Structure 1
């Protein structure tokens, strides 16, 4: 996190978060969707069933995205940096839309509309909704709310704080590439390896910051910080993802529910370990998860803004002494 320009970057992060709260994701022409279309078009030229091809594909797209952010932000501090960071944070953040979709899922499941819930599930995760009943849909949605609290909101805030517009745009790019090609299907097992590993590295700090925020916010949903921390420390390492396990286990402990188990994707069935030692999650627990996610998002935004501002002031004092 660079000390100079702390105030302008902090203002940009705050403006981007506010824009996400007010507007949510744009319904048409979302820059992330445009990036996905460009990545898919490039893939038709770069695809080979080899890791090296995936490295070239991923590195090229990340470099291009970072360059766009650098040009937009410029090298001087001021209003231009604030505007660039605000726009990049808004583009990358998806916490408001995540929670709105979670609330829609709660409404559908409460009304007993399993077919409607199945149709909505792909908006949250890549699991096969056709094989899920109401309980399975509830668990899938809750796990997705937990994981995407980190991926869709806390991660962008962390990278906006650390590196401004270029960093947060590159973070969203690698996160999108991981969703597109970072799976273990026969087509992407090798080509998507680089995207999956890059996403793991990009989320290491964000996932653990998310876990800390979940532990702190557990009382908001009637949970125990100690239970959240215990589930995180005991169960997260068994998850196939080094980062999703942190978010899901800490959520499970905070909500007093049990997550994990058989997880059906289009390309494979995963048997995941148990996260938490509570009851099977119910629809009311999904509603609590949405509330917990919102609280974690607010706390993480506040910490990011304050941290950048304090770092900027500290840097200016050190420069003045020199």
Structure 2
């Protein structure tokens, strides 16, 4: 699919509009996706693994198709309105704001508050007994991973397939966040959505990691350490993608990012602090400064595409 020339204008305006914050929940497409996925889960009745796999897979496929269809309709709007729709599929400001709230609580010495905010905004794990260092590390992990999932990935999807693919990606990522757990009710029902999310994030996670390594220079962080940690630790997470940006951030900051009993990235690094969260946010902003121009590069035209388009217009 070759996108119209206005696609780069749409993307730039969407990123600019993101600075205004999120629209009300009642008119937010991602909130609608969450409502659909919640209703789909409540409707599940299968009890065997195979039937659960089919039921969950059908729910994800229906949601992705509906999202892509809505994206197709939105793609017929004037380009400024398309940008407004695309903005709702990104969450750069929301991510940085959430990290900033946890950081402010840590700086104020309010560890219970920081734990609560971390659980509310950024992670699904139990945060009730995390140390201040573990809270800081979890924020850094979330910033690095969600920089890919919530900003770079929907942008890549838009550049490759317009609003239909961007909307289908956001539905898939939301389904993975809601269903992608290895618990008895979700182990099989959420598997299709989780694997689809893995596939759609293969390229964005690596683009994010590569741009983060380059961003170490203007962010005044350890680029060589970021590269080494990326090469060494990217495969230590259960996700085939999360370890790439997380490993880079761990190496760049010189900190250990650990989820108890699951992984430890840059294991020889020191304990994270609230200052490291601030530095991670600086690295994230510089990473986007490298990623956005890269994602605005015109896509190559397939051989013969120009002849076919010319013949059609004639």
TM-score (norm 2): 0.90
Q: Which residue does 2:29 correspond to in 1?
A: 31
Give the 5 Å matches for 1:31-70.
31-49=29-47, 50-70=52-72
TM-score (norm 1): 0.88
Residues 47 and 73 (structure 1), Cα distance of their counterparts in 2 relative to 1, 3 Å cut: farther
**In structure 2, distance between residues paired with 1:250 and 1:233:** 9
- Quick one: which of 268, 289, 304 aligns to 1:277? 268
Give the 5 Å matches for 1:48-127.
48-49=46-47, 50-74=52-76, 80=77, 82-83=79-80, 85-121=82-118, 122-127=120-125
Q: Which residue does 1:162 correspond to in 2?
A: 160
Q: Which residue does 1:267 correspond to in 2?
A: none
**In structure 2, distance between residues paired with 1:137 and 1:295:** 23
Q: Which residue does 2:253 correspond to in 1?
A: 255
1:157-211 Cα offsets, whole Å, 9 max, x none, are: 1111111100111111000000000111111001011111011001000000001
Is the partner of 2:160 in helix, strand or coil?
helix
CA RMSD of aligned residues (A): 2.3
- Do 2:74 and 2:85's aligned partners in 1 also have CA atoms closer than 8 Å? no
Q: Decide which moves more: 88-97 or 57-66.
A: 88-97
- Do 1:203 and 1:243's aligned partners in 2 also have CA atoms closer than 8 Å? yes
Asked if 1:296 corresponds to 2:298, the answer is no
1:111-141 Cα offsets, whole Å, 9 max, x none, are: 1011211221120111212121212211111
Q: Decide which moves more: 278-287 or 43-52.
A: 43-52
Residues 8 and 315 (structure 1), Cα distance of their counterparts in 2 relative to 1, 3 Å cut: farther
**In structure 2, distance between residues paired with 1:129 and 1:4:** 43
Residues 315 and 246 (structure 1), Cα distance of their counterparts in 2 relative to 1, 3 Å cut: farther
- Do 1:54 and 1:193's aligned partners in 2 also have CA atoms closer than 8 Å? yes
Residues 299 and 274 (structure 1), Cα distance of their counterparts in 2 relative to 1, 3 Å cut: closer
Compute the displacement of 1:96 (Å): 1.1
Higher relative contact order, structure no. (Cα contacts within 8 Å, ≥ 6 residues apart): 1
**In structure 1, distance between residues paired with 2:93 and 2:3:** 30
**In structure 1, distance between residues paired with 2:45 and 2:201:** 25
Residues 82 and 43 (structure 1), Cα distance of their counterparts in 2 relative to 1, 3 Å cut: same
Compute the displacement of 1:318 (Å): 7.3
Q: Comparing both structures, which one devotes a greater share of its residues to helix?
A: 1
Compute the displacement of 1:110 (Å): 0.7
- Do 2:256 and 2:264's aligned partners in 1 also have CA atoms closer than 8 Å? no
Compute the displacement of 1:241 (Å): 0.8
**Aligned pairs, number:** 305
Is the partner of 2:258 in helix, strand or coil?
strand
Residues 231 and 41 (structure 1), Cα distance of their counterparts in 2 relative to 1, 3 Å cut: same
